[in-house]
């Protein structure tokens, strides 16, 4: 690039007599212009590349001298004159600094008068030949210890009274780029001196390695092709394969601007450790495999109308966790799915439709030998699932009321899955049909949401199964009174921010299954219940204080035949006060009561909660934090009562140690005391229990990178 600057003389008007005009002509004659350079525009050069700058002329001694800077680094002495008007930076000189820079040429008459002549962009590759090469390591050490502990009464004994454990966290992130080619990677590993805390202790027990791999990911992008290996995420069909994150590989190829093809081959479950490094060691029996073909029908507007065809063929082994005693089962499914998504150009209307068909089975498993027990094989089942979502912005920041922007969005959703539908690559509620509709609006800072949901199970309408229908209505409203009726730049702390929420759910049986085949021989077994919850929250905030109030009511109305009195009414009240007398001290105080009335037993239960908290930076890098919580639970008949106390106090110190290369290594030390008390008395079951546990812990952490 060749640049040109006219200097200070160009900013002044040459308006006066003949003498001034002659002075302007002489000034113009002294202009210096860069006429050529060997720096390629928008291209990258090697660090040892020679730089040649050609000017229309070089300044005479009485006109000053040229100064050449790379950003803020002065390179003037490294440029040598070649010929009458050429300056050369030799390839034998110090290598140029990697990255994107500007080469700036000045004419300097004196220390205070610098006239810019031109600016030339300079993009320098790294020594390894990349435009960008970034490596960010991470090494963190943590020592945690329990100095002392004690349990009394009915408290469960601690596994270890005292201990000293060491933890190690290792990680690295890299990025290398040149042109359209880019490689990104990250990896992390964890080490524990206490084997029971190791990553795979639940799987391997005492054979679990103390230093193990958490996860890793290597991604390669090059124009139309991308490839990933490690903990990859694959799938966009919510019914078949949806954002599965397991160890394996993922590849994608873009064919023109309309078609793309991708494939994901992953382990059947999420894993850690370095044994199965690629996640594909038993791919034939334990996998999630899928492929997708995508079509952009509007290539000039990607995402405007897109179709995806997905096929999956997946298997999962019966994996026993260490010492859990469970009886797992192998699974297998094959299926295909269709996803169509799109939006209008403005984005006002958008939505998607999904379909999937899956064949699912539990294959015969030779490992399931239950001492001659005759196991009935599960028959394969082929089932369908559907879903659709559409959203429409009725209003998009339209100033209909006093220039206040208003937004209003309507949404509709539908989902259906056959009774036995299942896919290993997506979680879908089988045997369920769902309709929902919603409105989400905002008037300035006031927001409101309204939603209705209708669900029904037993989609095959089998006479031997109970059919349950659930209808739910939710409403939420938030009003920031302090900015609505005050100055937004200086809000009034005595006006609150308010939020209100309502949730009503009615669950009821809509059939009566055959009593002989189903076991539902009593009408009281058929559910019919309405639950109504109201919640109000108010929050005030001043410069040195804040105060919140929470009020909630819940009404559980049981309408089952013969159980009409089995109702519960709940009332919650709570306040929290925060005070900041100084910038270094935060105090909090809370109190609340919950009242639950059991109408059937005519019994009322009360739970009172009290809390105190402190966060105090009392000296430089020293801090004290403490909390205390007390709970008192009792009923009006004094049948049972429980009192609990939980508290802790901690002193911590933050520090920095000198590290290599002038870096500072941050660290922290802490000493913590914790105590828990629980007293329970139950006259009905003749229980009188008391338990106390306290511990003293300390820890030291240090970040080496």
- Same domain as 253, residue 382: yes
Q: 30: domain range?
A: 8-129
pLDDT of residue 227: 97
pLDDT of residue 370: 52
pLDDT classification of 374: cutoffs 50, 70, 90: low
Q: Which residue has the higher pLDDT, 542 or 150?
A: 150
Average pLDDT over residues 240-253: 97
pLDDT classification of 20: cutoffs 50, 70, 90: very low
Q: Which residue stretches of 133-258 are H helix? A: 201-204
Give domain status of residue 445, yes or no.
no
Q: CATH number for the domain including 73?
A: 2.60.40.1220
pLDDT of residue 561: 84
Task: List, in order, residues 6 or more apart from 214 with CB less than 8 Å away.
Answer: 187, 188, 189, 190, 199, 272
pLDDT of residue 16: 36
pLDDT of residue 63: 87
The DSSP secondary structure of 564-577, one letter per residue, reads TT--EEEEEEEEEE
- Could you say which of 99, 129, 159 is where a domain stops? 129
- Residue 514 in contact with residue 491, Cβ under 8 Å? no
57-61, 337-341, 616-620: least confidently modelled range: 57-61
pLDDT classification of 684: cutoffs 50, 70, 90: confident
Give domain status of residue 368, yes or no.
yes
The DSSP secondary structure of 634-685, one letter per residue, reads EETT-SEEEEEEEEEEEEEEEEEEE-GGG-EEEEEEEEEEEEEEEEEEETTT
The span from the CA of 489 to the CA of 97, in Å, is: 45
- Same domain as 290, residue 401: yes
- pLDDT above 60 (res 566): yes
- pLDDT above 70 (res 5): no
- Could you say which of 73, 104, 129 is where a domain stops? 129
- Same domain as 391, residue 273: yes
- At 9 the three-state DSSP class reads helix
Average pLDDT over residues 498-505: 98
pLDDT digit string, tens, across residues 461-473: 888 889 999 999 9
- pLDDT above 70 (res 178): yes
Give domain status of residue 141, yes or no.
no
- Same domain as 120, residue 229: no
The number of domains in the chain is 2
pLDDT of residue 152: 95
Q: Sign of torsion, CA 480 481 486 492? A: negative
pLDDT classification of 9: cutoffs 50, 70, 90: very low
pLDDT classification of 329: cutoffs 50, 70, 90: confident
- pLDDT above 50 (res 128): yes
Average pLDDT over residues 281-300: 95
Give domain status of residue 464, yes or no.
no
pLDDT of residue 3: 40
- Residue 647 in contact with residue 678, Cβ under 8 Å? no
pLDDT digit string, tens, across residues 411-450: 999 999 999 999 999 999 999 999 999 999 999 899 999 9
The span from the CA of 568 to the CA of 494, in Å, is: 36
SS (H, E, C) 474-534: EEEEEEEHHHHCCECCECCCCCCEEEEEEEEEEEEECCCCCHHHHCCCCHHHCCEEEEEEE
- Residue 266 in contact with residue 234, Cβ under 8 Å? yes
pLDDT of residue 376: 63
pLDDT classification of 14: cutoffs 50, 70, 90: very low
Q: Sign of torsion, CA 58 59 60 65? A: negative
Average pLDDT over residues 399-421: 92
- pLDDT above 50 (res 100): yes
pLDDT classification of 630: cutoffs 50, 70, 90: very high
- pLDDT above 50 (res 338): yes
Which candidate, 570, 572, 569, 571, places its Cα nearest to that of 599? 569
- Same domain as 364, residue 238: yes
The span from the CA of 469 to the CA of 451, in Å, is: 17
- Same domain as 235, residue 357: yes
- Same domain as 239, residue 123: no
pLDDT of residue 243: 95
pLDDT of residue 12: 34
pLDDT of residue 213: 96
pLDDT of residue 492: 74
pLDDT classification of 364: cutoffs 50, 70, 90: low
pLDDT classification of 584: cutoffs 50, 70, 90: very high
Average pLDDT over residues 265-272: 94
Average pLDDT over residues 463-486: 91
26-35, 202-211, 254-263: least confidently modelled range: 26-35
pLDDT of residue 17: 39
DSSP state of 158: P
pLDDT of residue 29: 41
Maximum distance among all Cα pairs of the chain, rounded to whole angstroms: 119
Average pLDDT value for the chain = 90
- Residue percentage of the chain with pLDDT more than 70: 92
- pLDDT above 80 (res 11): no
- pLDDT above 50 (res 4): no
- pLDDT above 50 (res 15): no
pLDDT classification of 89: cutoffs 50, 70, 90: very high
- Same domain as 393, residue 251: yes
The span from the CA of 385 to the CA of 397, in Å, is: 37
- Could you say which of 110, 129, 148 is where a domain stops? 129
435-439, 526-530, 584-588: least confidently modelled range: 526-530
């Amino acid at each position: 690039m060749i640049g040109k600057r006219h200097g200070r003389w160009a900013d002044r008007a040459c308006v006066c007599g003949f003498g001034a005009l002659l002075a302007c002509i002489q000034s113009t004659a002294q202009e210096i212009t860069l006429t050529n350079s060997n720096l390629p525009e928008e291209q990258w050069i090697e660090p040892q590349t020679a730089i040649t700058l050609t000017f229309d002329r070089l300044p005479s001694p009485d006109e000053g001298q040229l100064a050449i800077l790379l950003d803020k680094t002065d390179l003037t002495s490294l440029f040598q004159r070649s010929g009458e008007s050429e300056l050369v930076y030799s390839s034998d000189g110090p290598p140029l600094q990697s990255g994107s820079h500007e080469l700036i040429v000045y004419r300097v008459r004196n220390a205070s008068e610098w006239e810019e002549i031109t600016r030339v962009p300079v993009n320098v590759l790294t020594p390894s030949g990349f435009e960008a090469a970034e490596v960010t390591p991470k090494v963190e050490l943590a020592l945690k210890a329990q100095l002392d502990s004690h349990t009394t009464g009915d408290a469960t004994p601690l596994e270890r009274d005292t201990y000293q454990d060491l933890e190690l966290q290792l990680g690295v992130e890299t990025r290398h780029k040149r042109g359209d080619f880019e490689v990104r990677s990250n990896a992390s590993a964890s080490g524990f001196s206490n084997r029971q805390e190791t990553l795979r202790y639940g799987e391997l027990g005492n054979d679990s390695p103390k230093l193990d791999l958490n996860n890793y990911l290597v991604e390669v992008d090059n124009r139309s092709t991308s490839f990933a290996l490690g903990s990859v995420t694959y799938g966009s069909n919510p019914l078949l394969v949806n954002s599965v994150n397991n160890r394996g590989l993922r590849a994608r190829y873009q064919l023109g601007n309309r078609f793309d093809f991708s494939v994901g081959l992953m382990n059947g479950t999420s894993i850690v450790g370095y044994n199965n490094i690629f996640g594909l060691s038993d791919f034939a029996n334990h996998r999630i495999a899928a492929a997708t073909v995508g079509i952009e029908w509007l290539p000039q507007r990607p995402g405007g109308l897109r179709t995806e065809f997905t096929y999956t063929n997946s298997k999962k082994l019966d994996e026993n966790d260490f010492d859990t005693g469970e009886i797992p089962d192998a699974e297998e499914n094959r299926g295909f799915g269709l996803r169509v998504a799109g939006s209008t150009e403005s984005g006002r209307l958008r939505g998607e439709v999904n379909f999937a068909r899956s064949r699912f089975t539990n294959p015969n498993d030779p490992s399931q030998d239950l001492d001659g027990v005759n196991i009935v094989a599960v028959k394969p089942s082929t089932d369908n699932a559907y879903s659709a979502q559409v959203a429409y912005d009725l209003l998009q920041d339209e100033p209909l009321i006093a220039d206040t922007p208003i937004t209003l969005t309507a949404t509709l959703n539908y989902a259906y899955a056959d009774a036995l539908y299942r896919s290993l690559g997506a979680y879908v509620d089988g045997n369920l049909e769902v309709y929902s509709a919603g409105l989400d609006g905002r008037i300035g800072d006031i927001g409101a949401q309204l939603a209705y949901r209708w669900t029904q199970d037993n989609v095959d309408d089998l006479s031997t199964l109970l059919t349950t229908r659930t209808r739910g209505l939710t409403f939420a409203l938030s009003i920031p009174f302090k900015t609505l009726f005050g100055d937004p730049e200086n809000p009034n702390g005595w006006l609150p921010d308010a939020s209100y929420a309502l949730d009503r759910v009615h669950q009821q049986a809509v059939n009566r299954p055959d009593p002989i085949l189903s076991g539902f021989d009593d009408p009281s077994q058929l559910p019919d219940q309405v639950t109504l919850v109201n919640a109000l929250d108010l929050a005030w905030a001043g410069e040195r204080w804040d105060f919140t109030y929470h009020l909630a009511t819940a009404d559980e109305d049981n309408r089952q035949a013969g159980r009409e009195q089995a109702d519960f009414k709940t009332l919650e009240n709570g306040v929290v006060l925060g005070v900041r007398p100084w910038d270094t001290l935060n105090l909090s105080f809370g109190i609340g009561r919950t009242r639950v009335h059991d109408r059937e037993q005519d019994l009322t239960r009360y739970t009172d909660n009290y809390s105190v908290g402190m966060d105090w930076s009392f000296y430089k890098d020293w801090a004290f934090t403490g909390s205390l919580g007390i709970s008192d639970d009792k009923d009006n008949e004094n049948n049972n009562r429980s009192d609990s106390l939980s508290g802790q106090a901690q002193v911590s110190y933050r520090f920095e140690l000198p590290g290599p290369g002038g870096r500072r290594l941050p660290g922290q030390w802490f000493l913590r005391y914790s105590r828990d008390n629980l007293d329970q008395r139950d006259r009905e079951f003749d229980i009188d229990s008391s338990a106390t546990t306290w511990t003293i812990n300390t820890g030291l952490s240090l970040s080496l990178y």
